[in-house]
Structure 1
Amino acid sequence: MFESLKKKFTGTIGKISDKVTAEEELEAASEETEVVKSTEKSESPKSVEKPDTKPVDDRSSETESKVEDGKKSGMLGFLRGKPNETDEIKDEKSIVKESSELETPISDETELIESETSEKSDDKSGIFSFVRNKTISEKDIDDILFELELALLEGDVAMDVAEKIINSVKDDLIGRKIRRRSDVTDFTRDALKKAISNILDIESKDVISLAENAKKSGEPLKIMFVGINGTGKTTTIAKISTYFLEKGYTPVIAASDTFRAGAIEQLTHHADKLGVKIIKHKKGADPAAVAFDAVEHAKAKGKELVLVDTAGRMQTNINLMDEMKKIKRVIHPDLIIYVGDALTGNDSVEQAQKFNEAVGIDGIILTKADADAKGGAALSIGYVIQKPILFLGVGQSYSDIIEFKPEWMVEQIIG
């Protein structure tokens, strides 16, 4: 149910998250490179001078002098107790070796610098895995929301509704500060939920409370069903009868669609199966008279509600619309419910507008909602005529009807 809408909204959440975080990560990576370069430059070692081949201290100079003296003095120098030449040379080599060990080889120094640079780069990678106080701009989301708007229009969402959703999401997202990718996802999901909730936020009517109040007053609750041919209006009346029977109320059905003989037979079949009283006249009788008789029967028998079927008619058929207005004048219904086919999308929205203009609609029932993959009608119809959806038909059996809850639909398409 509503798979298309769900796919569109889920895709939008992912696209916005990807785009916002991808741009930030690119910027962060660029800044990271600059920081690393700057660090390497500021911490690069001074030029390392090659070790001087000359003796490293005064002792080496002294040794060299003694060697010269030894050469000159020869055996005399040895007899006088001076070290011989061989010993002096050994001492010289030892001193030079010790001096070399004190110096850090160039290759070792270079490895140390590279190691320090790598460690600093690793330290920064943790920081750049976060989105650092990024602010969502219109540039980040404009193209994606434009795509969403087109997708909604293709999914039979009314233009006014699509525009309201897009503007609401923009208002909520632009200027938001985020720190990590999950923030973008959460903010986008919340913005879409809020936008859809506002679309569906129309004061509804609790039909059970209305029936209870009618019972206390001694007057039956009168519900009149209108809509065009083929929307499942007759079957819907049978489902609503089942709904009230399960709640402990006793309905009576008025077969006021006298325009079509098959409608009377069909409604009689449903009433007999449910054990519900049906009031009917012959084909071509006055529909208003049938409705009036049903109300009088309910009063006399103490039944809590009257469900009035009307002839399916196109909203452009002026004569049949006038006949429906007459029924309204005669019985003064407490509720007029438009029954629309969810699969017809924007056509159903347009039809509801015409019926609302003609007789005034108090609520909506959408049939075949279980087969509606797009969901455009369910999202749009109530907002366009500012009337609540009361029930959804979700199957073929008498119990396949559910009360419509805005939060339920939000959960269905956003999750």
Structure 2
Amino acid sequence: MRTQVAIIGAGPSGLLLGQLLHQAGIANVIVERQSGAYVLGRIRAGILEQVTVDLMAEAGVGARVQREGIAHHSIELVFQGTRHSIDVHGLTGGKQVTAYGQTELTHDLMEARAAAGLETVYEAADVAVQGFDGERPQVRFKGKDGREQVLQCDFIAGCDGFHGVCRASVPRRALREYEKVYPFGWLGVLADVPPVSPHAIVYGNSERGFSLCSMRSMTRSRYYVQTAMDDKVEAWSDQRFWDELRRRLDPELADRVVTGPSIEKSIAPLRSFVAEPMRFGRLFLAGDAAHIVPPTGAKGLNLAASDVKYLSSALIEHYREHSDAGLDQYSARALARVWKAERFSWWLTSLMHRFPDTGDFGQRLQDAELGYLVGSRAAATALAENYVGLPL
């Protein structure tokens, strides 16, 4: 097998990269170790920055998100039992975020790839990336029939997530990793109930811990509460979850919570992680393969999209203009935006969560900073600018 760009991973970043390259006439093959149904069934993020929405349009798959996505013009902060609105739209000159589930985005990209007849190898076993430090990189894997196949290419794009093979194949001496693990997790519930706040995400800070009210559509909601790292999903009945969520919101909002049976319930750990650089010869990392942010602030999927924008533009420049300037600058450009998003996600996580050593003093400091945030236009503008996404 031969292609120009081999993409490892059929998640949103790999699919979006493949679609952008296809639009530019650049051949690509995606290799994915899971089945298509498994990839589509993963429950993930649901808030898109304008950069991501624009990229979907550029890739020719933006019609449904424009039609069905729900614009959020503000975010709401709950602390000391009171809710405050931050006018994100007004503070950023008309920018917004869009509620649109990652499952829907993945479906749009899969459908477009199938319609274009582009090759995606699902359920590939024993995937190995080789030769990326030379002129002839290749990807080896076993197909569904168990036969070993070799995919030769010009470049390899590692879009295979935190536990993927691409970053793991880089020599340890060539890689520097930065990590912070947070001492709590998020218990998340997905339910077919109307959102408590249909045009804003609600972030809650209370003595009981963090809470988040988000949505996937006007009939499907995603809610979270902070929980201990060693907590078990089995210990949380639906009723216990809904009761705890209400306790962490202001009284008026708590009364508006519509409850229902959970479709999905899970506990996710939180970490901040960055691997540098993001290029190794002819291997380029993108998305979770190179960095992880805590979900506070909804930056993970959007950072992957900005990586893809930088990488696709660099590859298009290589093939169209025979220039490697974009490829040479890819890692530095991507990491500059990554670290700004890491800072914002860390700051918002630190501001909204109850840490083991917070204590009464720490809680009062959080209250003071939150009070300053909602009372200062300058502070609120800084939050809003980061929330809608910094420029590429």
Larger fraction in strand: 2
The structure number with the bigger radius of gyration is: 1
TM score, norm. by length of structure 1:
0.21
TM score, norm. by length of structure 2:
0.22
